[in-house]
Amino acid sequence: MTTQSIAFLSWLVSGIVIALGFTWVGWRSRRALNTSAQQVNRFRMGLFLFLLVASIFFLGYTLPKVPYPTDTVTPDRVVFVAAKQFSFAISEKPVSTEKEWEEVTQYGGLVEVPVGALVEFRVTSLDVNHGFSIYDPDGLLLGQVQAMPGYVNRLRFRFSKPGTYTTLCLEYCGNSHHTMKGAFTVK
């Protein structure tokens, strides 16, 4: 079962539970109930404690599984990305000028990164805001970050599957936005 299927089923079950809760409350509110303030306060306290324990449990369960490394971990490889309408310059050297961008896009080959290495993408833009997204060879979106002029965003990822990975712009940047692509290989 794919991650998307699990997320959809979780959303569907949650929606059904919420709909049933609203239906139950609506059905029960047709007639007046004689309840004391003490009963209501006990119910609220019990509900609060249940939600608190459930939140702590889910936080404790999911926090160790966060896929992002801490800043103290040094990446195995740094890849520099400069976006400009309507292409990405993906290089092993920083790209900060028009001349460097042209050299990389015209003469540079595909950047290669090793399988299993922690790769840090340092992403910027030379003109307007762009989106930098990474798709695996099967077309699955792995991660994305904004490419902004005058600022470097970092995206770290550990690639477990070899192949050619595609990068696409996810921020509308002009008439030829749909043609804005890049690529690199994992070997």
pLDDT-above-70 percentage for the chain: 97
What pLDDT, on the 0 to 100 scale, is given for residue 29? 83
Given a cut of 50, the residues of the chain with pLDDT beneath it are none
What pLDDT, on the 0 to 100 scale, is given for residue 186? 93
What pLDDT, on the 0 to 100 scale, is given for residue 68? 66
What pLDDT, on the 0 to 100 scale, is given for residue 28? 83
Q: Would you call 147 exposed, middle or buried from its count of C-beta atoms within 10 A (0-12, 13-18, 19+)?
A: buried
Residue ending a domain, among 65, 85, 118, is 65
Q: Do residues 82 and 172 both lie within one domain?
A: yes
Residue 72 within a domain: no
Residue ending a domain, among 65, 100, 119, is 65
Q: Do residues 94 and 182 both lie within one domain?
A: yes
What pLDDT, on the 0 to 100 scale, is given for residue 97? 83
Q: State the amino acid at position 87 in one-letter form.
A: S
Total length of the chain: 187
Return the residue matching tokens 């929606």. Answer: 15
Q: Do residues 165 and 93 both lie within one domain?
A: yes
Q: Is the pTM of this model over 0.75?
A: no
Residue 91 in contact with residue 111, Cβ under 8 Å? yes
Alpha-helical regions (H) of 63-159: 98-107
Q: Do residues 30 and 98 both lie within one domain?
A: no
The CA dihedral of 9, 1, 141, 183, to the nearest 10 degrees, is -170
Domain count for the chain? 2
Token pair, residue 7, equals: 């997320």
Q: Do residues 171 and 116 both lie within one domain?
A: yes
In angstroms, rounded to a whole number, what is the distance separating the alpha carbons of residues 80 and 123? Answer: 6
